[in-house]
Amino acid sequence: MTNNSGNIMLALLAGAAIGAGFGILYAPDKGEKTRKKIKEKALETKHDITERVSHAKDELTKTANAKKVEFEQKLEDTLSHMSYKADDIIATLERKLEELKKKNAQLQK
């Protein structure tokens, strides 16, 4: 869930809760019934928000784990590639060293 969609969802929930609260407050019920309705709506809203936060947390955890695996794979690929390059450089240096040894041996004759 992106930050914008999370903010929009939170605003919609808050608006719905406020609207429901005003609707209950202006309804022609007794005070006891009104308080009971407000309490029920508050509990429903709390439950809904808790579920949404839990869902967002799960999604964030999944995304973080996926990015971690992706990063580890890219790091492994890079290190592997660098290892091959290092082997190529070492082999080239060893060939050059052998060439220099041969030239040096010829010059000393």
For the chain, which residues make up each domain, given as ranges? 3-108
pLDDT in tens, 74-90: 998 888 888 778 888 88
User: What residues contact 37, with CB distance under 8 A and at least 6 apart?
Assistant: 24, 27, 29
User: What residues contact 49, with CB distance under 8 A and at least 6 apart?
Assistant: 13
Statement: residue 62 has pLDDT above 90:
yes
Helices in the chain by DSSP H: which ranges?
Answer: 3-25, 31-108
pLDDT of residue 39: 85
pLDDT of residue 20: 76
Statement: residue 1 has pLDDT above 60:
no
Statement: residue 70 has pLDDT above 60:
yes
Distance from C-alpha of 48 to C-alpha of 63, rounded to nearest angstrom: 22
pLDDT of residue 74: 92
pLDDT in tens, 5-29: 777 877 877 888 787 777 766 766 6
pLDDT of residue 3: 67
pLDDT band at 72 (very low <50, low <70, confident <90, very high): very high
pLDDT of residue 27: 66
Helix/strand/coil for 59 = helix
